[in-house]
């Protein structure tokens, strides 16, 4: 699909459509850009797969966005791929690549007064300890927890449901117990999965008064603007009258179109089917 604007194309990648929450935040910050989004829906969820498999899938997906869609920047809008495959993606393409982990950790540092933060994410993200490493490098202490029920609850549409509130309460209580045992005083909760922004209001009700909830989709969009500005490549205002968004998926295009709008905040438009093999 040729780029009919003067703006650079920003490629956005996720294993599924949760990364549309990151695309949504990117569009809000860069409404004049052209975006190509790929959801590797044939092979989701990455969260339960090994590092080797995730790296291979993510590299193929990144190459599609760069080679087929002409992306000049890539945002890896997938915590699992950012945690386990950022190096593999950077090796596979020659354009700048931004993941979601580092911006989330930096936002946590900016928000936390105690220096102790809680991170919730998928199994694979937690087992990688990528957030722990990123937080520690910034001088924070962090406790991570896998919350595997939250993605299915969001996909079931139970984003404002008493069962979801109860599950969140159970997970947060387990985190608070661990924090207490280890002598931590956490005041910041990082939502380390692109599905979780849809539960943001439930999390804000569930955390203790004064605690901050960090939405890594929003943090990543802010980091993307800084990165692209720093390279003199920010999409120029006025070169396009409307954000240009092209969505692609490797399977289940109909489901992508049906559920994607919840994450994106408006219809996805026609979603192109892409065969990456495998």
Binding site for its own copies (CB under 8 A): 41-45, 48-50, 53, 148-149, 151-153, 155-156, 158, 163, 166-167, 170, 251-252, 255, 277-278
Could you confirm whether 247 is annotated as catalytic?
no
**Sheet arrangement for strand 188-191:** 141-146, 116-121, 188-191, 212-215
E-strand stretches of 108-242: 116-121, 141-146, 188-191, 212-215
- Angle at 263 (CA atoms; ends 228, 59), nearest 5 degrees: 55
Q: Which two tokens stand for residue 120?
A: 């919730």
Angle between helices 253-264 and 20-29 (to 10 degrees): 50
Q: Is 186 helix (H, G, I), strand (E, B) or coil?
A: coil
The number of C-alpha atoms within 13 Å of 201 and in the hemisphere containing its C-beta is: 7
Q: What is the C-alpha separation between 263 and 147, in angstroms, rounded?
A: 19
Nearer to its own copies, 151 or 247 (CB): 151
User: Can 78 be counted among the known catalytic residues?
Assistant: yes
> Which is the catalytic residue, given 78, 135, 147, 247?
78
Between CA 81 and CA 85 the distance in angstroms is: 5
CB nearer to its own copies: pick between 193 and 211? 193
Comparison of 177 and 226: residue with beta carbon closer to its own copies: 177
Q: Cα–Cα distances in Å, from 218 out to 24, 43, 121, 192?
A: 9, 26, 16, 12
Smallest distance, its own copies to C-beta of residue 89, A: 19
Give whichever of 96 and 148 is closer to its own copies, judged by the CB atom.
Answer: 148
CB of 209 to its own copies, least distance (A): 25
- Given 135, 147, 193, 247, the catalytic residue: 193
Nearer to its own copies, 87 or 166 (CB): 166
What is the closest distance, in whole angstroms, from the C-beta atom of residue 152 to its own copies in the complex?
4
Question: What is the smallest separation between the CB atom of 49 and its own copies, expressed in angstroms?
Answer: 5
C-beta of 127: minimal distance to its own copies in Å? Answer: 10
Q: What residues act catalytically?
A: 78, 193
């Amino acid at each position: 699909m040729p780029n009919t604007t003067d703006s650079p194309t920003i490629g956005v990648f996720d294993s599924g459509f949760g990364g549309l929450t990151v695309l949504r935040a990117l569009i809000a910050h860069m409404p004049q850009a052209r975006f190509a989004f790929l959801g590797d829906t044939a092979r989701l969820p990455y969260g339960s797969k090994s590092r080797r498999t995730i790296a291979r899938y993510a590299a193929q997906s990144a190459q599609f966005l760069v080679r087929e869609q002409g992306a000049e920047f890539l945002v890896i809008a997938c915590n699992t791929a950012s945690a386990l495959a950022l190096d593999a993606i950077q090796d596979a393409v020659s354009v700048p690549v931004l993941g979601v982990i580092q911006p989330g950790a930096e936002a946590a540092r900016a928000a936390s007064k105690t220096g102790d933060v809680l991170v919730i994410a998928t199994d694979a993200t937690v087992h990688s300890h990528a957030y722990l490493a990123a937080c520690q490098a910034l001088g924070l202490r962090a406790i991570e927890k896998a919350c595997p029920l939250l993605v299915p609850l969001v996909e079931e549409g139970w984003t404002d449901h008493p069962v979801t509130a109860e599950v969140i309460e159970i997970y947060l209580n387990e985190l608070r117990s661990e924090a207490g045992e280890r002598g931590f005083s956490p005041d910041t909760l990082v939502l380390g999965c692109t599905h979780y922004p849809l539960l943001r209001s439930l999390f804000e009700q569930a955390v203790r008064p004064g605690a901050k909830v960090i939405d890594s989709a929003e943090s990543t969009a802010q980091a993307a603007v800084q990165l692209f500005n720093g390279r003199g490549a920010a999409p120029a205002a006025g070169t396009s009258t409307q954000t240009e968004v092209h969505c692609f998926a490797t399977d289940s295009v109909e489901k992508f179109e049906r559920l994607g709008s919840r994450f994106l905040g408006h219809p996805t438009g026609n979603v192109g089917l892409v065969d990456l093999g495998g």
